[in-house]
Structure 1
Amino acid sequence: MPSIPQPTTAHRAAYAAELARGTARFHEPRRADCPWCGSKRLRTRLRTPDLRQRKPGTFVVDECGDCAHAFQNPRLTPEGLAFYHRDPCEGAHDDLAERLLGGHGGAGRHRAAARAVLPYAEPESWLDIGTGHGHFPAAAKEVHPYTSFDGLDATRRVERARAAGRVEEAHVGRLTDPVIGERLRARYDVVSMFHHLEHTPEPREELRAALEVLRPGGHLLAEVPDPDCAFGALLGKWWPAYGQPRHLHLMPLPNLLGELESLGCAVVATDRREPHVPHDLSGALALALGRALPGPDAPWRPAPPTPLQRTARLALGRAAAPLLASTVALDRLLAPLLRRTRFSNAYRIVARKET
């Protein structure tokens, strides 16, 4: 198990001062209607703590009885989003677990996603939204060698992606920022969003902004978790796709299809098989182990763990590693079967912006 950077006294004191003010300010008022269709027929689908980083707070996912849209309610404020996205590596309980929970596939999966637009377009320019370190553009260049790939991300990671040669232009910020939207208007043949929409406060605004930077006849490629996946009911709060508190929306496929069509797009392809990410069982186990093991020395803890707690965490983590690795293998073994059933956990849409 890799060592976790030790928080400084100032770092811990800053968190203590922030948490002394309580966490209520991190939440908007609870809403009584669905943000997608406006229905008031809501039911609570999930209550959970922060299983990933173990920061304070309890989070609720409600589901609409009419359109089945699932959403965090009450939703985090911008201040809350900043708090729960901060210092992500401090809460890592195991390197393998962090890889399971922090990524959505390697180069092979990225190349497969890039091939999804081959029947419909030969793009000259491509913008990857939420690109992070630019791993998707780097793999997609093998499929589209004559395409210019740019990246947009809310963090400075995209600038490191440019320095590494994975993207040609790096844009820091959000696509819904009017300045960025105007600068990139109608520049791209393809815009991609991989497991990005569920993190956005207003997915509809994000879709509209994505269409604004597409040229007429350009294509939008999106992959998102599927809230209809049977693992959601089977695993409950341990299902990785719930991703609380960082996932704000889980959108059923019919809802996104209807929204894109209302925006003047032609949906040319949908896929519930290939986008499946084989990490449901292993991700759930990783979350459960992270909850059961003594906590790491995270700066939001009031005091560092004792030497006994550190030793116990290290020993138990090593003992659990073979079980976690076996569950990873099981996920991969079952994937060809599960992706053909209701246990497939993600879907893909390719839509064309009509001229």
Structure 2
Amino acid sequence: MTEQEDKGDTGREAGKGDKAARVAALRPAYQDDLAAGTDRFFTARRTDCPWCGADRLTPRLRTPDLLQHKPGHFTLDRCADCGHTFQNPQLTEEGLEFYYRDFYDGLGEQRMSGTFGGRTAMYEGRAEAMLPYDPTPKTWLDVGTGHGHFCAAARSVLPGTSFDGLDFTDGVELAAREGRVDHAYRGAFPALAPELAARYDVVSMFHYLEHSTDPDRELRAAHEAVRPGGHLLIEVPDPESRYARLLGRWWLPWLQPQHLHFMPVANLRRRLTELGFTVVAEQHAEPHDPVDLLAAVWLALDHTAPREDAPWLPERPGPLSRGLRATLLLAGVPALITATLLDRFALRPLSHRLGLSNAYRLVARRD
């Protein structure tokens, strides 16, 4: 073994040891949270649709947390009148804090930063969607910016644009320190909207609305922040995608328990018109992220395999459990490779034609 390889192995072992120590340090607080049960994490179940008020609700999906594997089961109901799908019962503020904790920050920060930081082409495509309608925006606010990776990538498309970011996590402050955003706003968008009134040529919400407890409030805040004649750019999962039906709980964009609302495109178009926007573009093929089959195979493998160590488990899994997990995941590699090839090369060119696009994008001008 070379000296460089030896240092690499030492670094990996140190990294594993550091994570184990962090998990052990967090375990008492998680166990205290769970000792009181999970009922307090949920509101009362609704009997009417939060979008249109109709009372004809049907269950669409029931699933555990397939990503972090935190305790709890989550139900999505669909309105038979307008097609809106929503988490019911919905998480409380305490529940949102519990299930978001250590996903985008804390234990999950490095993983999420690597995931989002490696998607430059996708971010540039989002910025390019604005070019036919405003090729030289001066000010842009990215709502739900996370660590600001979109803003950093979009500068290559729009070098003359000033990009600000807004989020309720400390990731937006990290984005400002790293120079990915020019100004960081931390907090809830509806609360901050009055001070941002008519300030921006463009406001973007990329995979943000589905996380909000009240999408209508967020849309009204966007109308306030966009200047007259400016644009709102929205991208959300498409609940009408055929993948949503074919893959069931294994469809990644369901992302329970974080995603609270799923709006069919007709509903969102209608609401934007009512608020005083004109929808100038609707895209389905362009925002499609070709990962559905890969993600489904991974979620199924990860769900079947023994759990990896996490602070919400009562104790660290033993060597036998860890060995079984590694063996099963290794056996699943051929399926993961096959799913990747199908996603990227066989199905991606046909995704819109087959109704498989997993997201849609709207560009709307404020009248």
TM-score range, shorter chain: over 0.9
Q: Distance in 1 between matches of 2:181 and 2:151?
A: 7
Does residue 348 of structure 2 align to residue 335 of structure 1? yes
Measured after TM superposition, the shift of residue 332 of structure 1 is: 0.7
Structure 1 342/162 Cα, relative in aligned 2: closer, same or farther at 3 Å?
same
The answer (yes or no) to whether the contact 1:52–1:91 under 8 Å persists in 2 is no
Aligned to 1:154: 168
1:20 positional shift? 1.2
SS of 1:5's equivalent? Answer: helix
Alignment of 1:274-353 (within 5 A): 274-333=286-345, 334-353=347-366
Structure 2 counterpart of 1:68, one-letter code: G
Residue type at the aligned position of 1:77? T
Q: What displacement does 1:103 show?
A: 4.9
Matches of 1:60 and 1:234, distance apart in 2: 18
**Corresponding letter in the other structure for 2:147:** H
String of CA shifts for 1:44-92, please: whole Å, max 9, x gaps: 0000001111111110000000000000000000100000001127887
Check conservation: 1:27, 1:77, Cα contact below 8 A.
yes
2:204 to 154, 178, 192: 192
CA contact (8 A) 1:91 1:296 kept: no
Counterpart residue identity of residue 26, structure 1: F
Which stretch of structure 1 is more off in the superposition, 338-347 or 192-201?
Answer: 338-347
Q: TM-score, length-normalised on structure 2?
A: 0.90
Per-residue CA deviation, residues 209-233 of structure 1 (Å, 9 max, x unaligned), is: 0111111111000000000000111
Q: Indicate how the Cα distance of structure 1 residues 8 and 51 shifts in structure 2: closer, same or farther if over 3 A, else same.
A: closer
Is 1:36–1:69's contact at 8 Å kept on the other side of the alignment? yes
CA contact (8 A) 2:116 2:149 kept: no
Mapped to 1, the partners of 2:240 and 2:304 lie a distance apart of 28
Q: Look up the SS of the partner of 1:268 in the other structure.
A: strand
Match of 1:143 among 157, 161, 164: 157
> Secondary structure in 2 aligned to 1:165?
coil
Contact persistence 2:301–2:328 (CA under 8 A)? no
Can you list the C-alpha shifts for 1:184-217, whole angstroms capped at 9, x where unaligned?
A: 1211000001110000000010011011111111
Instruction: Could you tell me which runs of 5 or more consecutive residues in structure 2 were left unpaired when the two chains were aligned.
Output: 1-11
Mapped pair 1:17 → 2:37: no
* Structure 1 Cα separation of the partners of residues 113 and 246 of structure 2: 23
Distance in 1 between residues matched to 2:328 and 2:143, nearest whole Å: 38
Q: 2:73 matched to which residue of 1?
A: 58
In 1, are the aligned partners of 2:23 and 2:310 still within 8 Å (CA)?
no
In the alignment, does 2:56 pair up with 1:44? no
Q: Percent of aligned positions with the same letter in both sequences?
A: 52
The answer as to whether partners of 1:138 and 1:166 remain within 8 angstroms in 2 is: yes
- Residues 149 and 33 (structure 1), Cα distance of their counterparts in 2 relative to 1, 3 Å cut: same
Mind listing any 5+ residue stretches in structure 1 that lack a counterpart? none
The answer to whether the 8 Å contact 1:279/1:328 transfers is yes
Residue 231 of structure 2 is matched in structure 1 by 219
Q: TM-score, normalised by structure 1?
A: 0.93
With CA pairs under 8 Å and 6+ residues apart, which has the higher RCO, 1 or 2?
A: 1
How far the C-alpha of 1:104 sits from its partner, in A, is: 10
Q: Which of the two has greater helix per residue?
A: 2
